[in-house]
Amino acid sequence: MIGKVKTGKSFAGCIRYNLERDEATILHAEGIRIDSIPHIINDFNMQRKMNPELGQAVGHIVLSWSVHDKDKLSPDAMSANAKEYLQKMKIADTQFLVVQHHDREHPHIHIVYNRVSNEAKTISDQYQRRRNAEVCKQLTLKHGYHMAQGKAQVNRPRLTGTDKIKYQLYDAIKETSAAARSWKELEGLLKQRDIEINYKYKSGATEIQGISFSKDGLKLKGSEIDRSLSYGKLNQQIEYNHRKEKSQQQNQQTFEQGEIEVIAEPILSKLLNASGYEEAVDFRFLKRKKTKHTISQGRSL
C-alpha cells in the first residue's frame, strides 16, 4: 500500500476530476451530500468559507495497493482502510469523500477532504509526506498487504509532479554515486543532469552536517529521497569507490612489474649462459696455450 498526498485550491476541479468518469464509485462520505456533484462541491465550499484565509483548502490523497491484494480489498475493506488512514494521519473532524476508480489494474481510491475543520480550524499539512510513508507501512504490515521491494518496483512513467522529480533524483544519484570517487566528481556528474548539490554545514564550522539536491526548482534532502542518500551513506560509498580504484591501480602496477620480470628472466638467463660459455672457452684456450709453452721449454733443455 502506498499513498500520495496533495493540496489544492479548487474543490470543483478536484471533485469533477474524481467523479466525472464512468469508472468512479463513491464508497463513503462524511459531512456532505452525495446525491449530485454540484451538492458535493457546494458543501465543501460552504465549510471552506469558515476559514477564508486558507488558500490551499483542498486535501487530496490517493491510496494504491498491489494487484496481489485484489482479493483482500472489497469496497467495505477499502472504505475502512481510508478511515483508518485518515485517523492515523491526524485528519479528523472534517468533511471527506472516498471514491474508488476502476481505470487501473491495481486497486486504488481517492480521498478528498476539507482542510478547514468542522470547527473552522486549519488541518495542518506539515510533515504529511513523512507521516504518509509511515502510516502506509503500518497499515501494509497490519493487514498483510503486498510489500513492494523497494523503489525499483515503482512504475516511473506513471509518476507526475514532485514524485516524478523525486525518482529522477533517486535514479541519477544512485547511478552516479556508484562511480564517483570524490564529491567533486559527483557534483560534476550530477550537474550534467541539471542536478545541484547543496551542503548543510554545522553552525560556525566547515564540517558538513547534511545534504540536499535541487532539480527543476524542487529541493529535497538526501534522506528524504531515500535513506541510502543521506550525506553519511553517500560519503561511505564515495570513500569505498576511491579505495577500490586505488587498490585496482596497485594491483595493475604489481601485474605489470610481474610481466616485466617474467619477460626479463629468460633473456637474462640466456645472457648469463652465453657469458659462461665464453668464459669456459677462453679458459680452455688459455690452458692449452700455457701447456704448449711448458713443453717447448722442456725440449730446449
Phi, psi of 35 (to 5 degrees): -80, -20
CB 27 within 8 A of CB 82: yes
Judged against a pLDDT cut of 80, whether residue 270 lies above it is answered with no
**In this structure, what DSSP letter does residue 116 have?**
B
Q: What confidence score (pLDDT) does residue 266 get?
A: 62
Judged against a pLDDT cut of 90, whether residue 242 lies above it is answered with yes
The 3-state DSSP class for residue 9 equals coil
Q: What confidence score (pLDDT) does residue 300 get?
A: 40
Q: What confidence score (pLDDT) does residue 43 get?
A: 98
CA angle 22/26/32 to nearest 5° reads 125
Q: For 104-148, how does the pLDDT look when each residue is reduced to its tens digit (9 = 90+)?
A: 889 999 999 999 999 999 999 999 989 999 999 999 999 999 876
CA angle 244/245/247 to nearest 5° reads 65
Judged against a pLDDT cut of 60, whether residue 297 lies above it is answered with no
Judged against a pLDDT cut of 70, whether residue 278 lies above it is answered with no
The architecture that CATH gives domain 2-148 is: 2-Layer Sandwich (3.30)
Q: What confidence score (pLDDT) does residue 251 get?
A: 76
Give strand pairing partners of 61: 5, 111
* Confidence bin at 295 (pLDDT 50/70/90): very low
3-state secondary structure 179-199: CCCCHHHHHHHHHCCCCEEEE
Q: For 50-103, how does the pLDDT look when each residue is reduced to its tens digit (9 = 90+)?
A: 999 999 999 999 999 999 999 999 999 999 999 999 999 999 999 999 999 998
* Confidence bin at 249 (pLDDT 50/70/90): confident
The ranges assigned to domains in the chain are: 2-148, 156-263
> What average pLDDT score do residues 221-241 get?
94
Q: What is the pTM of this model?
A: 0.57
* Confidence bin at 254 (pLDDT 50/70/90): confident
Helix 11-19 to helix 37-48 angle (10° resolution) is 150
Q: Show the DSSP H helices in 64-127 as ranges.
A: 75-88
Q: For 169-210, how does the pLDDT look when each residue is reduced to its tens digit (9 = 90+)?
A: 999 999 999 999 999 999 999 999 999 999 999 888 889 999
* Confidence bin at 260 (pLDDT 50/70/90): low
Q: For 32-41, how does the pLDDT look when each residue is reduced to its tens digit (9 = 90+)?
A: 999 999 999 9
Phi, psi of 219 (to 5 degrees): -120, 125
Which residue has 497490519 as its cell numbers? 142
For residues 145, 135, 83, 94, the Cα torsion angle rounded to the nearest 10 degrees is: -160
**In this structure, what DSSP letter does residue 48 have?**
H
